[in-house]
Amino acid sequence: MTVPPLLSVRGLQAWYGRAHILTGVDLAVGRGEVVALMGRNGAGKTTTMKAIMGLLDRRSGAVAFDGRDVSALPPHRIARLGLGYVPEDRRVFTDLTVEENLEVGRQPPRDGAPHWTPERLYALFPNLAEMRGRRGGRMSGGEQQMLTLARTLMGNPSLLLLDEPSEGLAPRIVQQMADALRALKAEGLSILVSEQNLAFAAAVADRASVIEKGQIRFEGPMRTLLEDETVRRAYLAV
Amino acid sequence: MSFYLVQFLSGLATAATLFLVSSGLTIVFGVTRIVNFAHGSFYMLGAYLGWTLVERWGGTPLGFWGAVAAASLAVGLLGALMEVGLLRRLYRSPELFQLLATFGVVLVVQDAASWIWGSEDLLGRRAPGLRGSVDILDQPFPLYDLVLIGLGPLVLGLLWLLFNRTRWGTLVRAATQDRDMASALGVDPARLFTGVLFLGSALAGLGGALQVPREAVNLHMDMAIVVEAFVVVVVGGMGSLTGAFIASLLIGQLQAFGILVFPQITLVLVFLFMAVVLVIRPYGLLGRAEDAPPTAASPGPPLIAATGVARWAPALLLALLAAVPLVAGDYALIVLTEVVILALLAASLHLLIGLGGLVSFGHAAYFGLGAYGAALLVKHFAAPMPMALAAAPLLAGLGALAAGWFCVRRSGLYFAMLTLAFAQIVWSVTFQWYGVTGGDNGILGVWPPDWAAGKAAYYWLTLALAGGALLLLRRAAFAPFGYTLRAGRDSALRAESVGIDVRRHQWLSFALAGSAAGLAGGLYAFAKGSVFPTLMAVPVSVDALVMVLMGGIQTLSGPVAGAALFHLLETEAMSRTDWWRLVLGAVILVLVLAFPKGVAGFVRDLWTRGRDS
């Protein structure tokens, strides 16, 4: 008998107002696994993440996390179960300092997940250590992206939902981000990362799911995706 | 010199109370984005509860301050209760609906307080140990007021510590900025909001309880303070505590010294000050653009002219209404005349809210200007009725043209507050200019001439004029003018980029709405035979708002139906019980809770669900 995955999504549908965005998404992330959710702009990557997190008004389908059905829970309950969400548009609290941003994310330690403190996070992201008292609004895009990730880690998640972490960042910062993700994986964290950047995804992910028009069109090891030019051309246009 | 110092100090004491109340309002608004009309009611409840407890325990200093603290805590609990029982169900509703809900609470609290404490003014006892006064440069100054002066900065300091040095405060500030993100990080927004409502209401209650030794407790405290607190919050910048503090100080001084310089227009002074501040600093003294509330009207589905049989509905209704005098008696005709007039008032406000996305808190000003325009002509120039009725929309339209020029320069709640400011200015001028307007006594004897004196005749006249104006308003909604107005509402930026002068259209719609309201006012004056300053006071503006919201802002017929529903309900409740406010408030609350997306939204949801399945 196989071990059930940490996150399992079956037939997930979601709407923005009356627009039907997700028409049936199936996904799974195993313990300690990094899965890349790939797809073009508008394919439904961000919507998938928000729907899993309970941030949309209307959704249907099954979402099980750590063996629990979370499809009807409000976002804060889902987060407290150990599902960490890092949004694509960063959404740092611009009025709050770096330290205060981390404080908002703080949750009690959790069995089976790495335990984070501000000091450990400052070690992982040395940039942040130098600006503890700075307000979020006065940071560069790359610094904000690091802060958003660190803030979510303060909740001691066992699974990270990471939405387009490399978007709009300088190549040097993208490299730092990839290093950070590998370090998190080494800590035992599971990650679902949405990406358009194939090189970035290839550098961090074990498996890939490719989404197009609100459904998963390909699912398999990262290496297969890299080698399968037809899938890449059909759904990623790269 | 010493006299001015004492005046300055009493300004500071006023400022302290003002700050306590408005800090609560600004905190609640900052987090929940709800414009809480009930905040003034909590202040009033704090004063009443404080009075009762001080009567019981206030013999000793400990008892007195214990009574004040207990009143404040009790009011805080009521605020938390309102969050859990009411507001929590409405966070995803249109913002105007939340406003309507808090107004329902205002009505209920009014009657509850009247039932428990009666309608007589209550004089409280003085604070033990602080009854006397100290001499400041040979001028006596009440000791109690000195304590209040110290309390203002103390509360500001404590609030600052709470928000900047505790985890709870950090979470509140985070949720204020981005509610969804905070909840995705595991913060339960509902619990946070309950806490915030507790804190905000407790501050209002504290402000009220502290007033007990200073002034009589009565049933008018709620509206008076909530309007002033809104002014402070807007002048200081929405959501800014320090801004509210500075604004309280300025307005306290303005009141203290204004009464020396212009005793007649102290009421105007505060609103004039707010208007000037908003023209110079659009988001208040310390406010920032991103904290500004969005325009309150959510557009909803596009307005489409009725087709087929439905397009004849207004004509049919008009014909039906015209036939009523054949069967109805005088009393029914009087009520129906009022309904038709109020329907015009509501429809004119809907032009601003529904089509322009501009929520006015001061629409009564133009209703009142119309009424007074007609009445003054009759009184001072013995003008015949047709001339007076023609002057009504003219005067109101000119007033709206002048006020609108300022108001449309701001949007959202700032627009609303500017309209309120102008309405209050018009009201206080009318109230205090005895020589011309008769002040409080109003103008009597504004009756229609013989040919229109019968109830049926005047009803037909009203129906013809108001019905004609309603048709014109409808025509405007579907004319290019209406389309550009709606384009400006839905996206001002995009509308401007295709060459529409959004502000100009808003200005014109403001004038048009003002003159339509003015015609309604003129008709009302002759229907009642008299005019009073209350016609242009805040409650009338609020009534008009409630009518529009009850009917729903997404359709043109909504406000007409809302006006009929509201007025019939009010008349019926008033004739049956003294507790009509309670009934009306309860009906509003039930409506809001049963249809959290509005009646129109509810029907639309049913429609889409029916079609999807």
**Residue A103 and residue B608: Cβ atoms within 8 Å?**
no
B 189-208: CB under 8 A from A: 189
Q: Average pLDDT by consecutive 10-residue portion of chain B (613 residues)?
A: 87 94 92 87 98 94 96 98 92 78 92 94 89 84 93 95 95 89 94 95 97 93 88 88 95 89 75 85 79 50 68 83 88 94 96 90 95 95 94 96 90 83 88 86 92 92 95 92 90 88 94 97 96 91 88 81 90 86 87 73 67 61
The reply to whether A90 touches chain B by the CB within 8 Å rule is no
User: B158: Cβ–Cβ under 8 A, 6 or more apart, which residues?
Assistant: none
Using a CB-CB cut-off of 8 Å, the residues of chain A touching B88 are none
**Residue B186 and residue A95: Cβ atoms within 8 Å?**
no
Q: Which residue of A has its CA nearest to B171?
A: A104
Round to the nearest angstrom and report the end-to-end CA distance of chain B. Answer: 79
Question: How confident is the model over A106-159, as pLDDT tens digits?
Answer: 999 998 889 999 999 999 999 999 999 999 999 999 999 999 999 999 999 999
Domain with CATH 1.10.3470 in chain B: 2-129+136-262
Count other Cβ atoms within 10 Å, centred on residue B478: 13
**Residue B186 and residue A53: Cβ atoms within 8 Å?**
no
Q: Is the pLDDT assigned to residue A34 strictly greater than 60?
A: yes
Is the CATH number of domain B2-129+136-262 1.10.287? no
A36 forms bridges with which residues in the sheet?
A: A193, A208
Residue A184 token pair: 């998190």
pLDDT of the residue at B465:
96
Q: How far is CA A179 from CA A161, A166, A185, in A?
A: 17, 12, 10
User: B53: Cβ–Cβ under 8 A, 6 or more apart, which residues?
Assistant: B66, B67, B68, B70, B71, B209
pLDDT of the residue at B611:
64
Partner residue opposite B185 with nearest CB, options A18, A100, A155: A155
Prediction ipTM score: 0.93
The reply to whether A76 touches chain B by the CB within 8 Å rule is yes
Gap between the Cα atoms of B205 and B21, Å rounded: 8
Q: Output b/e per residue, B355-393; b: 16+ Cβ within 10 A.
A: bbbbbbbbbbbbbbbbbbbbbbbbbeeebebeebbebbb
A 160-199: CB under 8 A from B: none
**Residue A87 and residue B185: Cβ atoms within 8 Å?**
no
What backbone phi and psi angles, to 5 degrees, belong to A78?
Answer: -60, -45
pLDDT of the residue at B169:
95
* Strand B530-531 versus strand A207-212 pairing type: unpaired
Q: What is the mean pLDDT of residues A65-72?
A: 93
pLDDT of the residue at B603:
67
pLDDT of the residue at B598:
61
**Residue B171 and residue A104: Cβ atoms within 8 Å?**
yes
**Residue B189 and residue A151: Cβ atoms within 8 Å?**
no
What backbone phi and psi angles, to 5 degrees, belong to A30?
Answer: -85, 170
- pLDDT above 90 covers a percentage of chain A that reads 73
Residue A131 token pair: 């600006």
Gap between the Cα atoms of B194 and B490, Å rounded: 32
Residue A168 token pair: 């709009």
Q: Which helix (H) or strand (E) holds A208?
A: strand A207-212
pLDDT of the residue at B207:
97
Gap between the Cα atoms of B21 and A48, Å rounded: 44
pLDDT of the residue at B280:
86
The reply to whether A55 touches chain B by the CB within 8 Å rule is yes
Domains in chain A, please, with CATH? Answer: 7-236 (3.40.50.300)
Using a CB-CB cut-off of 8 Å, the residues of chain A touching B167 are 103, 106
pLDDT of the residue at B481:
93
The reply to whether B31 touches chain A by the CB within 8 Å rule is no
Count other Cβ atoms within 10 Å, centred on residue B264: 13
Q: Is the pLDDT assigned to residue A11 strictly greater than 90?
A: yes
pLDDT of the residue at A238:
55
pLDDT of the residue at A1:
46
Query: Taking a C-beta distance cutoff of 8 angstroms, is the pair B182, B189 a contact?
Result: yes
